[in-house]
Structure 1
Amino acid sequence: MSKKLIIKIVSLFTILLMTGCQKDDYTFGSISTPSNLKVTAEIVGKTADAPYGDGSGIVKFVATADNAISYKYVYPDGSSDNAPSGKITKRFTKTGVNTYTVTVLATGAGGVATNTTIDVEVQSDFSDDEAVQLLTGGSSKKWYWAAAEPAHLGVGQNDGDAANNFFPNYYKAGPFEKAGSPNSSCLYDNVLTFSLDGEVLKFQLDNGGATFFNKDFGSVAGASGLSEDMCLSYNTGAAKIVSLSPSESVVMNNPDHAEQTRGTTMNFSDNGFMGYYIGQSSYEILSLTANRMVVRAVMGGNPSLAWYHTFTTTPPNPNPEPSIDYTKLVFEDNFDKDGAPDPTKWTYDLGRGNNGWGNNEKQNYTNSASNIVVEGGFLKITAKKENSGGAEYSSARLKSDGKYAFKYGKVEVRAKLPSGGGTWPA
């Protein structure tokens, strides 16, 4: 009987000991669930005459809740923004008047979250369909660092100095400069893919497993206190959503800004970035063609600096085939005799091109002196808005076909090119 009593006492002591240990190890702190979550939305420019705003698509959100320590906004396209204070300004970019259901999460101590939704109906007048087409080719297109170009990576000032704030005046990387060191060569492994998913523009960065980090942001990849920029292992994650918005940089205030920037900014969701990590997810497009792109981004945490990136659709090749230096001049026209172009060197395409060479263009091609003439050492081709051959415009189309042809060679041309939609020399 005494043995049974001892066993029961020991068992009871063990239970008390275990209970005591659990109490001593309770280190999670208090868990508080946010309550009374409220969200307000101010549509910028909203008036009685403009109920959906001023066309900028900008909405200012304010979230408040009891016991909340942070907030997160999740948008219908899957992108999101963290807002520790509960305040955030969001630009919606889908053209026209659209309704967006925004989910707001308030997180309290211990990670417990409360959520609610709010609908906003807002108008956006901004669109750049041409940029989307050039970026994606209509479906999907790959871009690479233009490593062979001087200044494919550079940095300059970000201030009101209109003479210097639109190009990398502080530093310009030389051709393949970053290929010479294992600390930076990963930059040229980047493959940037822009694609269309329905009407949604998406971006995927394939970094080959390593990203070239600005030294001030090494901690993002777990490497604090870097003394220089360096390639670090980093997972760039899933595809990002890209929204386009009008540029608001200092360049837009320059008198000649129309020649210095496209005026369109790409905004990448979920901390997306274009190859070189500078703590920025918005990039202003300075120039964009079907095979070349130059962007500008203000450095995160240092608004006095702007970085410049140049990309191309051709993969970088540090050892290209040596080019042939063609030195024998075989054809030349300096247009130094006024009048009609030299008939021994040039002939014309005339008409609308309905016999095969046309491209459904709006002009009728002539050999009239009002459309094409040699004058003062220049060949002048003028497109005019006038009725001509059943077309709305007249112009001229000059060629050496039947006069001179070559298979291989080098062509040098000095020309002043027109500007404006629909005008381009070939």
Structure 2
Amino acid sequence: MAAIGPSDIREANALSCLQSLRVADRPLSVTDVAQRTGLSRPTIEAVLADFAARGLVADAPVEGVGAAGGRPARRFGFVAESGLVAGLDAGPREARVVLADLSGRIVAERAIAIDSAVEGDDRFELVASLLDEALRSTGMPRERLRSLGVGASGIVDEAGTITQSTVVPSWSGRAIAAQLAERFGCLTTAENDVKLRAYAEHHFGAAQEAASIVFLHVGTWVTLALTLDREIFHGQHRSAGEVGSRRGMRWSSRTEGSAPVWSTGDGSERIASAVAGDAAARDEVRTFVRDIAPTLATVALTMDPDMVVVGGLLAEGGGVAVEWFREELDDLIALATDFPVSPSPLGARGIVLGALAMAFVQGSEALFGIPGAPIPAVTCPEDQQ
């Protein structure tokens, strides 16, 4: 076990002060921070001086008089707008971006549809321009963007290069993180989109109390992602969970490769009809669930997660299909082990919120001068309506 040194202690002290200031509903004095953290005044004053130099705190206006009739104590307010953090979903059919300040408040959100025929550099320009537009809408200097997380379809390596994408073939080999970092001048991290959906569940969704999950997403494709200790589990070749990549794989009699094929309309329509009581639709969706369940049970038994989270189409309509998954897994698994199965509440924002969380984590030092700062309690766009 590594010894704890002075730098570790300084970082821990700074984290305590950061949290106190960031969640406070008013500016705080040194005494206020000391009461919240238990740290000494000299330690707090040193941290505040560093935060002030970084633009993270500022003196609040002094009003009234102090307790002894003299000048009131200086108070420091957290300057949330001193930096911006972005999550970007560079999806195959839609791009979406959210911008948050350092307190986690969403200050801008944009989304556009992307024609599947748009490829390569043209696709990249559409995605990057969406982030440009969101930045302009805030009225803040572009330089305030400090950390960017991006989700893309395909295998994404540690450097943020899309090494292989069957969904957007023209992006295979694209160093998307490096290209966005060059354009926007900020720390940029890229990750597989479905893995970011799973990651988002731990911070904003159904798995906030869980350490590990199997995440099943059914949308245009059927996909899986895994997490361990609240982190994305990649495996040795960053292909963990890529069950659909097995040659000859068919999730269901109602899929072509990994793509669901519905008898009429799209999956949302069939789910809605099933929820409304349409017998044919209920039978179709139930059969689809029954076909997928054995693969899901095998993965769950291999991993033994805290829970299974189902996102996408099958999480719609109040989670009727999720209840069918619970029943199928109970029938398939001959153990007393109970895998809770929950629908994802994040919908279309799953990827972009996972990217935002990743940007806060990976950019902690760039944002706050401290590694390991917790993700703030992000206020999601729907909470502001």
**TM-score normalised to structure 1 length:** 0.21
Of Structure 1 and Structure 2, which has the larger fraction of its residues in strand? 1
Higher relative contact order (CA 8 A, sep 6+): 2
Compare CA radii of gyration and give the structure with the larger one: 1
